[in-house]
C-alpha cells in the first residue's frame, strides 16, 4: 500500500495544505478561555521547540519525557521533539512516584516537560533516586521555574533550519520515534517502541471512516499519553480536522455545546455517565411526560441498524426521536458523526440507544503494541454489529489461535519492548504474529467479538473455567450497577464485588419511599441487598450454571483511578482489587464454609 507520508512530522505540511493560514487548527481551554492557534503558529512554535532542543545539545535517539494534560502545547512538544530525531516518552500525570522513578531511570531521559507546579515538585522529589539527572521544564509559566516559553525563545533566538532539515531527512519511516510505557496491573511498566510506520499505517487505514475533513472539529480529552487518543489526534492532522482540548472531564458537556464537534473518542464509562444523566432527567418528570420519556427510551434500547426492525418500529422510533431522543442529540452539540469508544467493551443496549438518538458509536479494539487499532466499527458492509468491535481494520490480519487467543499481524505491530528482547519474543512469534492476550471469536459476518482476557480467566476448585469479563459485561447492563468484579479463583463458585450506581439507587429509593441516608448505610440495608440479589438472579439466568454469581458484596464507594482500582484507561486493576479487598473476598468464601 502506498503511504502518503513517511514520518509523523510529515503530517504538519499536509495539515497546512488543508487550511487557510488564519484558520484555527488547535485550541485549548484554560480558566474559561479558549486559546487558539492557526497552522502557521503551530509550525513556527514546533520548529522553535526543535531549535531550542538542538541548542541544548539534543541528539537523535535521546529521550525526552512529557507529563502533561491535553493542550496545544502537547502537540508543539511532540512535533518539536520528533523532528530532532529524539524519542518522545509521553507519561501519565496520575501514576505513582515509584512508576515515575522506574520509567525515567529505565529510559534515561534527558529532559522532562510537566504541566503543573505540583508535577514539577513530584518529579523533583525523585531526582536523587535517578541514575540520570534530567532537567525539568514546566509548560505553565510560574515564577522561579524553567518554562517551555524559555525553550521556545531559545529556539527563536537560535534558528537552525538547515541543520533541522538535514536531521529530518535522515530519519527513516522504520525508526522508533516514541516509547509508551504501558500501565501494567503487575510488575513494572513495559516500554512499547513504536516507529513512524507503525502509527502512519494505522492512521491511513482508518482515514476513510470519517466522512468529513477540514470543515470538522474534534474534541479531545482522553490522555494524549495513551496511544488511543494520540493516534486519533494524528488522524485529525492527516484529514485536516481542527482539534479542541477540553479543560477537564467536568467541563466536557459545556465544551461540546460550545464547539459542536463532529467527532470525539471516549471510554464506555463516560458514555454510561452521560446516559445516566439523561435518564436522571427523565426520572424528574411526572405523569404523561414521564411515561412518554421512558417509552422513547424503551424504543431506543431495541434499535437495529438499516431498518431491520421493520416499518412499524421505524415509525415509533421517528416519534420517539421527535419527542425525546432529539433533545439528547441536541444537548450533545447536534453535530456528532462519530463517537469512538474504546478501552473496554460497551454495553450493546447503550450503543443501541445512542444510535437511535443519532449519536453513532464506533467501537474499536487494539493495544498500545498494535498502534493501536486491530478492529473497528466502519462504514463497510457488515462494518457494525452490536456487541462486537467490528471487522478487522483494513491491512490487519487477524485470526483466532487454537486456545481462543486473538493474534494479529500488520505493519502497525510494534518494534518491540524497550530493553527487553525476551519479553518481545514472548508476544511476537517467529512468524510475526502478535499475541494480544485477549480471547475472542468471529461472528458469521466477520466482526470480531472480545470474550475475555486470557490471563484473567480463572478456574474454580471444581475445575470449571470462568471468564470474568464476559460475566461482568452482562451484569453491568443493569442500571443498578456501576461496576463489578467477579472473583472465585480456586473456590467452589463465582462471587462478585459490586459497586452500586448510587445515583440510580437514590432515585429508586425515592420512588419506593425508602429514606436515603448515606451510601455506606444504604448498602447494609436488608431491603437493598435483597433488591440487588434479585437483579443478579435475573442475569444468572443468562449464564451457565458454573458461571452464575452465588454470593455478592455491595461496596460503599465508587472505584476510581484516584483510589487505585481502575487503570488510566478505566479498566479494572484486578490484582490491586484482590489485594485491597482480600479480607472482604475471604469473608465471602469463609461464610460459605461455615454454612456447610
pLDDT of residue 591: 56
**Interacting residues of 576 by C-beta distance below 8 A, sequence separation 6+:** 185, 564, 565
Cα angle, residue 529 at apex, residues 528 and 531 outer, rounded to 5°: 65
Q: Which domains does the chain have, with CATH numbers?
A: 1-20+36-171 (3.40.50.980), 457-595 (3.30.300.30)
pLDDT per position as a tens digit, 303-335: 999 999 999 999 999 999 999 999 999 999 999
Q: ∠ CA(92), CA(204), CA(200), 5° rounding?
A: 50
- How are beta strands 494-500 and 111-114 bridged, if at all? unpaired
Q: Which long-range contacts (CB under 8 A, 24 or more apart) does 593-596 make?
A: none
| pLDDT at residue 594, as a whole number | 40
Residues 6+ apart with CB under 8 A from 144: none
How many CA atoms lie within 13 Å of 40's alpha carbon, on the beta-carbon side? 4
- pLDDT given for residue 32 in this prediction: 83
Contact 197, 411 (CB under 8 A): yes
Q: What is the dihedral of CA 505, 506, 511, 516, to 10 degrees?
A: 120
CA torsion angle 77 78 80 83 (round to 10): 170
* Mean predicted lDDT score pLDDT of the chain: 91
Which is it for the CA torsion 493, 534, 502, 92, positive or negative?
Answer: positive
Peptide bond into 372 cis (omega under 30): yes
At residue 592, the pLDDT reads: 45
* Alpha-carbon separation of residue 118 from 114, 115, 138, 140, 322 (angstroms): 9, 9, 10, 11, 48
Distance CA 390, CA 393 (A): 8
pLDDT at residue 2 in the model = 55
Q: How many residues does the chain have?
A: 596
Give the whole-angstrom CA distance, residue 380 versus residue 325: 26
Torsion angle of C-alpha atoms 441, 409, 428, 399, degrees rounded to 10: 20
Q: Which positions of the chain have pLDDT values less than 50? A: 185, 592-596
Per-residue cell: 400: 483466532
Pairwise CA distance, residues 516 & 133, whole Å: 54
pTM here?
0.84
DSSP letter at 359 equals -
pLDDT at 272: 83
Please write the tens of the pLDDT for every residue from 199-254: 999 999 999 999 887 779 999 988 899 999 999 999 999 999 999 999 887 888 88
| C-alpha cell recorded at residue 176 | 522508533
- The pLDDT of residue 364 is 93
Question: First-to-last CA distance in the chain?
Answer: 65
Work out whether the CA dihedral 173, 104, 110, 425 comes out positive or negative. negative
- Integer Cα distance of 519 and 514 in angstroms: 13
CA distance 412 to 239: 19
19 touches 39 (CB < 8 A): yes
To 5 degrees, how large is the angle CA 512–CA 513–CA 515? 120
CA distance 152 to 53: 9
Angle, CA 76 vertex, CA 370 and CA 29 arms, to 5°: 100
pLDDT at position 94 = 82
Grid cell 535522515 is found at 170
Amino acid at each position: 500500500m502506498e503511504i502518503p507520508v513517511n514520518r509523523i512530522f510529515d503530517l504538519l505540511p499536509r495539515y497546512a495544505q488543508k487550511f487557510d493560514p488564519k484558520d484555527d487548527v488547535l485550541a485549548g481551554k484554560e480558566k474559561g478561555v479558549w486559546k487558539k492557534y492557526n497552522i502557521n503558529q503551530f509550525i513556527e512554535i514546533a520548529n522553535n521547540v526543535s531549535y531550542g532542543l538542538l541548542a541544548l545539545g539534543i541528539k537523535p535517539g535521546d529521550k525526552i519525557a512529557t507529563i502533561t494534560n491535553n493542550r496545544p502545547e502537547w502537540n508543539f512538544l511532540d512535533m518539536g521533539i520528533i523532528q530532532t530525531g529524539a524519542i518522545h516518552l509521553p507519561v501519565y500525570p496520575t501514576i505513582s512516584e515509584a512508576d515515575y522513578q522506574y520509567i525515567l531511570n529505565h529510559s534515561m531521559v534527558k529532559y522532562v516537560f510537566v504541566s503543573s507546579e505540583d508535577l514539577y515538585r513530584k518529579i523533583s522529589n525523585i531526582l536523587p533516586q535517578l541514575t540520570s539527572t534530567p532537567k525539568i521544564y514546566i509548560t505553565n509559566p510560574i515564577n522561579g521555574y524553567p518554562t517551555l516559553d524559555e525553550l521556545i525563545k531559545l529556539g527563536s533566538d537560535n534558528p537552525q533550519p538547515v541543520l533541522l532539515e538535514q536531521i529530518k531527512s535522515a530519519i527513516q519511516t522504520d525508526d522508533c520515534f516514541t516509547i509508551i510505557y504501558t500501565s501494567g496491573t503487575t510488575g513494572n511498566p513495559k516500554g512499547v517502541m513504536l516507529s513512524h510506520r507503525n502509527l502512519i499505517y494505522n492512521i491511513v487505514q482508518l482515514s476513510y471512516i470519517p466522512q468529513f475533513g477540514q470543515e470538522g472539529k474534534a474534541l479531545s480529552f482522553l490522555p494524549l499519553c495513551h496511544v488511543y487518543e494520540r493516534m486519533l489526534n494524528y488522524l485529525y492532522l492527516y484529514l485536516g480536522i481542527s482539534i479542541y482540548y477540553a479543560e477537564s472531564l467536568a467541563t466536557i458537556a459545556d465544551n461540546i455545546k460550545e464547539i459542536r464537534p463532529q467527532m470525539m473518542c471516549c471510554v464506555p464509562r463516560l458514555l454510561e455517565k452521560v446516559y445516566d444523566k439523561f435518564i436522571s432527567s427523565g426520572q424528574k418528570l411526572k405523569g404523561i411526560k414521564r411515561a412518554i420519556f421512558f417509552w422513547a427510551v424503551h424504543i431506543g434500547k431495541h434499535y437495529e441498524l438499516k431498518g431491520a426492525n421493520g416499518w412499524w418500529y421505524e415509525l415509533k422510533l421517528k416519534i420517539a426521536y421527535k419527542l425525546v431522543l432529539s433533545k439528547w442529540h441536541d444537548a450533545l452539540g447536534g453535530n456528532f458523526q462519530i463517537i469512538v469508544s474504546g478501552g473496554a467493551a460497551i454495553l450493546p443496549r447503550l450503543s443501541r440507544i445512542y444510535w437511535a438518538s443519532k449519536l453513532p458509536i464506533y467501537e474499536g479494539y487494539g493495544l498500545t503494541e498494535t498502534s493501536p487499532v486491530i478492529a473497528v466499527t466502519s462504514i463497510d458492509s457488515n462494518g457494525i454489529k452490536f456487541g462486537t468491535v467490528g471487522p478487522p481494520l483494513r491491512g490487519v490480519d487477524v485470526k483466532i489461535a487454537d486456545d481462543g487467543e486473538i493474534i494479529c499481524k500488520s505493519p502497525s505491530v510494534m518494534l518491540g519492548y524497550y530493553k527487553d528482547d525476551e519479553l518481545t519474543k514472548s508476544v511476537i512469534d517467529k512468524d510475526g504474529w502478535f499475541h494480544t492476550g485477549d480471547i475472542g471469536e468471529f461472528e458469521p459476518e466477520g466482526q470480531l467479538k472480545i470474550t475475555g482476557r486470557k490471563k484473567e480467566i480463572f478456574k474454580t476448585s471444581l475445575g470449571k473455567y470462568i471468564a470474568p469479563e464476559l460475566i461482568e459485561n452482562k451484569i453491568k447492563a443493569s442500571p443498578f450497577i456501576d461496576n463489578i468484579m467477579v472473583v472465585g479463583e480456586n473456590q467452589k463458585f463465582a462471587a462478585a464485588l459490586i459497586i452500586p450506581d448510587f445515583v440510580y439507587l437514590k432515585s429508586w429509593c425515592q420512588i419506593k419511599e425508602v429514606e436515603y441516608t448515606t451510601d455506606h448505610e444504604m448498602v447494609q440495608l436488608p431491603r437493598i441487598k435483597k433488591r440487588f440479589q434479585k437483579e443478579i438472579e435475573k442475569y444468572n439466568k443468562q449464564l451457565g450454571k458454573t458461571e452464575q454469581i452465588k454470593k455478592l458484596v455491595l461496596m460503599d464507594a465508587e472505584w476510581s483511578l484516584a483510589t487505585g482500582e481502575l487503570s488510566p484507561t478505566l479498566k479494572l486493576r484486578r490484582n490491586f482489587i484482590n489485594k485491597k479487598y482480600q479480607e472482604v473476598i475471604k469473608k465471602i468464601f469463609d461464610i460459605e464454609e461455615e454454612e456447610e
